[in-house]
Copies of this chain bind each other. A is one copy, B any other.
Amino acid sequence: MVLEFGLDTFGDITADAIGPRSGAQVIRDTLAEAVLADQVGLDYIGLGEHHRPDFAISAMEPLLGAILASTERIHAGTSVTVLSSDDPIRVFQRLATLDALAPGRAELTIGRGSFTESFPLFGFDLNDYETLFTEKAQLLQSLVAQEKISFQGSHRPALKGVTVYPRPERPLQVWRGVGGSPDSVLEAAAMDMPLVMAIIGGNPARFTPMADLYRHTRARMGAQMLPLSVHSPGHVAATDDEAKERYFPAYATMHDLIGRSRGWPRFTKAAFEAEIAHGSLYVGSPETVAKKIATTVKALGLDRFTLKYSAGPQNPAHLRDAIALYGSKVAPMVRDMLA
């Protein structure tokens, strides 16, 4: 697999000079951002679900259908589908439909979800956090691997020799998104799912043992190696200073809003500078960001890097600038650095 460059977004509510944009406008903006990403040669755009006032994307697939119909080359998928509070059969049907629309370009990434809003909203109990995900991941994996499936679990009546339609024309692309639990890495390897590691803070090299665990497990299984990807937040602008000025206020707003319910300390400029210098914020000029991505790709042995490009009430014009620079400058620079 040639090194790929992706984008991820949860559809953060952006703001322009007039004020916050509507969720509906953010959805339309996201479609335009995907079209731009396709035009500047990026390989992937992923949409993640949230169920809160500060995010516009709760249903990814209608927007993915529009994105795939409006683009030529880019892959598009979920990043991530919170499988614990969804139905694996519906998830499979939606992915198979997207893959039919854009053969080979639709992807799915499943995860446990780091926000808990979706559990009560869809009638699930957070006490079932573990078994909900494990059982649903097993059912989804069966659906992807076999035509006729049977399934027995504790959260739904059994299924016996069922086939789910529409039938895919090729193997569907399902990734496993993990936060940092070795158990999840082992599960992904066992389920033949390529791995996305979400690294949203701290030195990315801390994840080297995770990447190695995944590779060694696959090797021990005698199984083919599967792609490894990292998702991290960041922002690209013409200069380091401009990138920091454009990104800091929105990122800090988002960080502190989420942090209030999680007991995080307030985000400071010093913490921001430290995350850029030694942590997992890819913020700066194209050259700064390219160097940082190249270091991470090399340290972890990655096949794909996805930049989580939206964070809090940023100006949508800045998001477009960042996407254009990431595709046209950063990606070729990283490829040169690693050549």
A residues neighboring B (CB under 8 Å): 11, 22-28, 31, 50-53, 55-59, 61-70, 87, 89-90, 93-94, 96-101, 103, 120-123, 125, 155-157, 159, 162-169
Quick one: copies of this chain in the complex? Answer: 2
Q: Which residues of B contact A97 (CB under 8 A)?
A: 27, 57-59, 62-63
Q: How far is the CA of A52 from the CA of B167 in the complex (A)?
A: 10
Contact of A165 among B56, B98, B122 (CB under 8 A): B56
> A159 — which chain B residues lie within 8 A by C-beta?
120-121
Contact A23 B62 (CB under 8 A): no
Q: Within 8 Å CB of A167, what residues of B?
A: 22-24
Given the known A-B contacts A27-B101, A163-B53, are A122 and B90 also in contact in the complex, defined by CB atoms under 8 Å? yes
Kindly name the residue among A22, A156, A165 whose own CB sees the greatest number of chain B CB atoms within 10 A: A165
Question: Considering only CB atoms, which chain B residue lies closest to A53 in the complex?
Answer: B165
Chain B residue contacts of A103, Cβ below 8 A: 24
CA distance A27 to B98 in the complex (A): 9
With both chains docked as a complex, state the minimum distance between the C-beta of A337 and any C-beta of chain B, in angstroms.
37
Minimum Cβ distance to chain B for residue A102 (Å): 8
| Separation of A53 and B122 alpha carbons in the complex (Å) | 29
Q: Which residue of B lies closest to A87 (CB)?
A: B122
Min C-beta distance of A137 to chain B, whole Å:
16
The smallest beta-carbon distance between A122 and chain B, in angstroms, is 6
8 A–B pairs (Cβ distance < 8 Å), ordered by A: A23-B100, A24-B169, A51-B165, A56-B165, A59-B90, A62-B62, A62-B101, A65-B67
Complex Cα gap A229–B27 (Å): 31
In the bound complex, do residue A166 and residue B24 qualify as a contact, i.e. CB atoms below 8 Å apart? yes
